[in-house]
A and B are shown apart, each in its own frame.
Chain A
């Protein structure tokens, strides 16, 4: 009998091998492994795990079905709550959500809920099982802006409720951060993201790419000229921040968004694609979140020596634990408790290094984390040819500035109620556009809530 306190191990590409390719790192459970892991679930009467999942997937119920090898039924249970299980199973910060609450985690290792969810979603895709739409069309048109997780979820739920939904996307691919931000080695684009988008299409949702709301057409025009009766805004928080330190305009300084977009959306890493990317020799990534890990691991795969410079200590790294672990295994070097003060530039205007100052942790700040304080006189230089700024993002003002009556807060986030209603009647919003940069599953949760609120809005109209 296997040790019930520890997880069924999952196979991964060898760190040395995967550091040179863009194939998926985690290979997923086999059927046998999934069934074995599922049998570790205690099927709790009061499952704590469900409370940790922002969309309240009925976790014990689907795991029970995995144990019984009823994978299709398991998929149906997950689909009741989530439109993108193959994505969430891969990228949710499970350790602080569902798995963080799992009772198994008290004495041993939590049940691998995310990995099981991924297994079920992959199994369904490989076996051609698609979500069904049994609703009758009600003839009402709803526009969804942005095809990230919030938009896809809202669109899917609205279609299932009978609405005639069109998603408008500014870029040439659907998926938002799932296609331009999160790299192939964590979230395969063709296999997983495209397939999930196809599932939403299968529900009857129409997709229009290359439409920038606020430029190609405004929200008011969508309502007045194209007959949309309600709008959901899921435009994300794509505007990158910079540090505003000397040297930041030099060639070789990129936002993580630019670096990742060139690589993921434009596929610069692939032979035959036209978009160039700077393959640095020594790269400094500034920041410690998921985005920083993705940029670092991408630069590594493009052949660079990579240093993550982060101003707090390892305990405060905001990235998912699994990503930090994977990054270290692959050879990313962590320069903790230090912060850049200047980018050093050569005569040609290109980066030649980065001047950093060492930090120590002081009193906790508003976020509850101990505040980093500079140690005077501790500056030193790191030699490098590329610096990737991964300091966070904020919502793009394009939509708010072109829509009368749509209000934002000081940070540029759209103001919305709990159920997603903005300050403009008939216009709802959710995801990063409202909360600022957060997570896939929170964006999905917001899309779901707003879809229900929009349905309610029509019923009361």
Chain B
């Protein structure tokens, strides 16, 4: 069993948990993910590694409740335990491996985090700071109340920009618009990492393609095993079919077929999941972001 040592509510639907998982903590790197299973009946839920402490043997996850399983996870608290917690899975972020460090230091990197995507961006930015790499981070959220990790991110990012769709905090607009604004001010980037809802990553990629900024995205298709055994997570990247769980989850965003990925993400979406997202997203719910599967 994998004990939950700490639980924190970051916003209405977003929770943080610190889980005892020494084997995962020992070898994980930013960009990788884990799969958690609540109990015998639970499904295997993939979640990005948001932080880790090798000495304590702990891994931090941040999740948003969207459907039956994540709702059930949110009911657990400190002192409870997960039946299964396996990882690290997937490839580490290319930016966060020692061998590439000299090259990475030459880059002008901008991160764009959308919604719960802030969680997976954090360990990358933290790792880069620890290795002396400067970063610019844009966090986009629908509204101020669901923005989380501001203080933590401020500590590790060289420059931090906050954007809300409704203008309730920071820049009035979404992450894309914030990037465009910075660009218009004369700021230049030559590497972008975008993590968030698929629709957001898609639009970031359209913009960065125009601006000529190579862009990495972190894909979160439906998964079962996470070890390359089932093919549920397959995506079209360029002309090739890739398994996100072993070849990714990070890919060249300009090569990903987002429309197909979004269509595939709908596959098992429950009615409750869709309804909940629609309610959460309020006016900004346009469907098709791969989170709720859109309105049918």
A349 within 8 A of B: yes
Interface contact A240-B224, CB-CB below 8 Å: no
Interface contact B229-A257, CB-CB below 8 Å: yes
Interface contact B296-A348, CB-CB below 8 Å: yes
Stretch at the interface among B82-90, B126-134, B137-145, B153-161: B82-90
Interface contact B231-A172, CB-CB below 8 Å: no
Interface residues of A in 235-259 (CB under 8 A from B): 238-240, 242, 244, 248-249, 251, 254-255, 257-258
Q: Given the complex, which residues of B lie within 8 Å of A373, measured CB to CB?
A: none
With A238-B228, A240-B231, A398-B228 known as contacts, the answer to whether A216 contacts B87 (CB < 8 A) is yes
Interface contact A216-B230, CB-CB below 8 Å: no
Q: Given the complex, which residues of A lie within 8 Å of B227, measured CB to CB?
A: 170-171, 212, 238, 396, 398
B54 within 8 A of A: no
Interface size on B, residues (CB 8 A): 40
Contact pattern, A 273-295, Cβ under 8 Å of B = 1, otherwise 0: 11110100000000000000000
Interface contact B86-A255, CB-CB below 8 Å: no
Contact pattern, B 216-243, Cβ under 8 Å of A = 1, otherwise 0: 0000000011011111101010000100
Contact pattern, B 92-134, Cβ under 8 Å of A = 1, otherwise 0: 0000000000000000000000000000000000000000000
Residue of A nearest to B257 (CB): A249
Q: Given the complex, which residues of B lie within 8 Å of A398, measured CB to CB?
A: 227-228, 246
B184 within 8 A of A: no
With A240-B231, A396-B228 given, name 17 new contacts (CB 8 A): A171-B227, A210-B84, A212-B89, A215-B32, A216-B23, A238-B229, A242-B234, A251-B267, A258-B231, A273-B43, A274-B69, A275-B224, A276-B270, A349-B260, A349-B263, A349-B266, A396-B246
A129 within 8 A of B: no
A139 within 8 A of B: no
Q: Given the complex, which residues of B lie within 8 Å of A244, measured CB to CB?
A: 241
Residue of A nearest to B262 (CB): A349
With A172-B37, A249-B264 known as contacts, the answer to whether A261 contacts B84 (CB < 8 A) is no
Q: Given the complex, which residues of A lie within 8 Å of B87, measured CB to CB?
A: 212, 215-216
B287 within 8 A of A: no
Tell me the bound Cα distance from A432 to B103 in angstroms. 41
The 3 A-B pairs of least Cβ separation, nearest first, read A349-B263, A258-B230, A210-B86
Contact pattern, A 194-224, Cβ under 8 Å of B = 1, otherwise 0: 0000000000000001111001110000000
A321 within 8 A of B: no
Interface contact B27-A274, CB-CB below 8 Å: no
* Of the residues A211, A251, A275, contact of B23 by C-beta under 8 Å: A211
Q: Given the complex, which residues of A lie within 8 Å of B229, measured CB to CB?
A: 180, 238-240, 257, 261, 396
Interface contact A266-B43, CB-CB below 8 Å: yes
Interface contact B296-A261, CB-CB below 8 Å: no
Interface contact A249-B228, CB-CB below 8 Å: no
Interface contact B230-A274, CB-CB below 8 Å: no
Tell me the bound Cα distance from A353 to B155 in angstroms. 54
Residue of A nearest to B68 (CB): A274
Residue of A nearest to B86 (CB): A210
Interface contact A170-B43, CB-CB below 8 Å: no
Residue of A nearest to B89 (CB): A215
A364 within 8 A of B: no
Tell me the bound Cα distance from A238 to B228 in angstroms. 8
With A216-B24, A238-B228, A258-B231 known as contacts, the answer to whether A276 contacts B84 (CB < 8 A) is no
Interface contact B263-A258, CB-CB below 8 Å: no
A125 within 8 A of B: no
Tell me the bound Cα distance from A171 to B86 in angstroms. 8
Interface residues of B in 11-47 (CB under 8 A from A): 23-24, 26-27, 32, 37, 41-44
A272 within 8 A of B: yes
Contacts A/B (CB < 8 Å), 5 sampled: A171-B227, A180-B225, A254-B231, A275-B224, A349-B263
A104 within 8 A of B: no
Q: Given the complex, which residues of A lie within 8 Å of B23, measured CB to CB?
A: 210-211, 216-217
Interface contact B260-A249, CB-CB below 8 Å: yes
Contact pattern, B 59-75, Cβ under 8 Å of A = 1, otherwise 0: 00000000011001000
Interface residues of A in 140-177 (CB under 8 A from B): 170-172
Q: Given the complex, which residues of A lie within 8 Å of B43, measured CB to CB?
A: 266, 273-276
A262 within 8 A of B: yes
Q: Given the complex, which residues of B lie within 8 Å of A171, measured CB to CB?
A: 225, 227
Interface contact B263-A251, CB-CB below 8 Å: yes
Residue of A nearest to B270 (CB): A276
Contact pattern, B 182-226, Cβ under 8 Å of A = 1, otherwise 0: 000000000000000000000000000000000000000000110
Tell me the bound Cα distance from A278 to B222 in angstroms. 13
* Of the residues A217, A238, A254, A273, contact of B27 by C-beta under 8 Å: A217
Tell me the bound Cα distance from A226 to B27 in angstroms. 14
Least Cβ distance of A62 to chain B in Å?
36
User: Which of A210, A242, A255, A273 counts the most B-chain CB atoms under 10 A from its CB?
Assistant: A210
Tell me the bound Cα distance from A171 to B26 in angstroms. 19
Tell me the bound Cα distance from A209 to B37 in angstroms. 13
Interface residues of A in 340-374 (CB under 8 A from B): 348-349
Interface contact A249-B234, CB-CB below 8 Å: yes
Q: Given the complex, which residues of B lie within 8 Å of A217, measured CB to CB?
A: 23, 26-27
With A239-B228, A258-B232 known as contacts, the answer to whether A172 contacts B86 (CB < 8 A) is yes
Tell me the bound Cα distance from A211 to B27 in angstroms. 12
Q: Given the complex, which residues of A lie within 8 Å of B296, measured CB to CB?
A: 348
With A239-B228, A251-B267 known as contacts, the answer to whether A216 contacts B44 (CB < 8 A) is no
Q: Given the complex, which residues of A lie within 8 Å of B225, measured CB to CB?
A: 170-171, 180, 261
Tell me the bound Cα distance from A180 to B241 in angstroms. 24
Tell me the bound Cα distance from A446 to B229 in angstroms. 22
Interface contact B86-A170, CB-CB below 8 Å: yes
Q: Given the complex, which residues of A lie within 8 Å of B236, measured CB to CB?
A: 249
Tell me the bound Cα distance from A274 to B260 in angstroms. 25
Interface contact A255-B231, CB-CB below 8 Å: yes
Tell me the bound Cα distance from A349 to B266 in angstroms. 10
Residue of A nearest to B85 (CB): A210
Residue of A nearest to B232 (CB): A258
With A238-B229, A249-B260 known as contacts, the answer to whether A272 contacts B86 (CB < 8 A) is no
Q: Given the complex, which residues of A lie within 8 Å of B41, measured CB to CB?
A: 267, 272-274
Q: Given the complex, which residues of B lie within 8 Å of A274, measured CB to CB?
A: 41-43, 68-69, 72
Least Cβ distance of B288 to chain A in Å?
11
Least Cβ distance of A265 to chain B in Å?
8
Interface contact B83-A240, CB-CB below 8 Å: no
Tell me the bound Cα distance from A254 to B85 in angstroms. 25
Residue of B nearest to A239 (CB): B228
Least Cβ distance of A403 to chain B in Å?
15
